[in-house]
Amino acid sequence: MVNARDVKNVPGRPKTDKLDAAWLAKLAERGTVRASFVPPKPVRQLRDLTRTRTVSIQERTRHKHRVDKALQDAQIKLPDVVSDLFGPSGRAVPDALAAGERNPRALADLAKGSLVKKKPALAEALTGQFEEHHGRLPGVLPGTADHLTAQVREPGRLIAGLMEQTTAPHDGTGTGPPRTDGTGTSSARDAVTARELAEPLDAVPGTGPATAQIILAETGTDMSRFPTPEHLASWAKLCPRTIQSGAKNTSGPTGKGNPWLRGALGEAANAAARTDTFPGACYRRIAKRRGHMKALVAVARSILVSVWHLMNDPTARYRDLGAGFHTRNLDPSRKSRELVRQLKALGHDVTLTPAAA
């Protein structure tokens, strides 16, 4: 199997099924096309389950947004007070509205947990123009969301079982050093399960068990297909494309890549950006210069590089460099020039005096 982009016919020539077949045969005979990445059957089965779960989660989120839209249309500002619209308190209020309750104070009394302290704000948010028409959607959509939640749990159970059955070869020359058994002797070739590969990924900032399962399903368990982390980042389209013309070198867009893998890494990068870790500091350092989206792509690539090393060597463990890594390793004179430039832009005259050692 090859990429259709690599086997297109020469422009300007007639296009028929016969000529296309002859062209494909010539390309295959001369070895001018590269084979696409096709993981083994167990990984493809795992990929089907993770993609099914992702689609169910996206569909459930759409239904939750529709409940929010129905409440907003009735001027009910419940999401401004309740963080989780489908939590214990958030779920009880739409059910009571669908049942016919319209008194804001009576609805505010349904608050539980930490929302009990917010009853006045909750009563104010529930003061709107909720009519019988608005009560139909909150009476139907939550049931659909519950059904989708059950559909999310079933693939999760199947994924956990398949992760135990899926194995990856592990040797000292291909995908990492040989493993040792309880006696301390090493095996020339052994196998690790997908669950054992996924456990170290949980330590990477922003990733969790579900994200690790998606990464394993999309990239496969055998990192020997990607000789270096750069090969994996290039395959995932998380690095800029090089465009050279004469002495001019420019970088183009990253490309589309695998949407399932990029989506999972994007969520992980978004979560890591809010942490006080090395990826979080990397995001903040790049975002202030190049914007939110480019910083997310850079963090996603950094996460994928860490994932390659952890999967390539199952004995390795993630160690965070810390949020102050760049500050400690930056050139002091360069940092000083940057700070002086910022102060001059604010209209200050700056004179630097070196401090005593």
Residue 175, in any domain of the structure: no
What are the angstrom distances between the C-alpha of 120 and each of 95, 109, 123?
20, 10, 5
**Are 55 and 126 part of one and the same domain?**
yes
For residue 80, what pLDDT is reported? 80
Per the domain annotation, does 13 fall within a domain? no
Count of the separate structural domains present in the chain: 2
Q: Are 57 and 128 in the same domain?
A: yes
Same domain, yes or no, for 96 and 51?
Answer: yes
Inform me whether the pLDDT recorded for 171 exceeds 60.
no
* pLDDT for 182: 43
Q: Are residues 128 and 65 in the same domain?
A: yes
227, 118: one domain: no
Is residue 21 domain-resident? no
- 29-62 per-residue burial string, b: 16 or more CB within 10 A, e: under 16: eeeeeeeeeebeebbebbbebbbbbbebbebbee
pLDDT of residue 19: 86
Distance between first and last Cα of the chain:
65
pLDDT band for position 9 (cuts 50, 70, 90) = low
**pLDDT mean across residues, the chain:** 83
Give 297-322 pLDDT, tens digit per residue. Answer: 999 999 999 999 999 988 899 999 98
Has residue 175 got a pLDDT over 60?
A: no
Q: What is the pLDDT of residue 95?
A: 78
pLDDT confidence band for 183 (50 / 70 / 90): very low
Same domain membership, residue 157 and residue 207: no
Q: Which helix (H) or strand (E) holds 354?
A: none
Average pLDDT over residues 234-240: 89
Domain that holds residue 139: 41-163
More confident call, 2 vs 183: 2
Q: Is the pLDDT of residue 172 over 60?
A: no
Q: In terms of domains, do 262 and 207 share one?
A: yes
Q: How many residues does the chain have?
A: 357
Percent of the chain with pLDDT over 70: 93
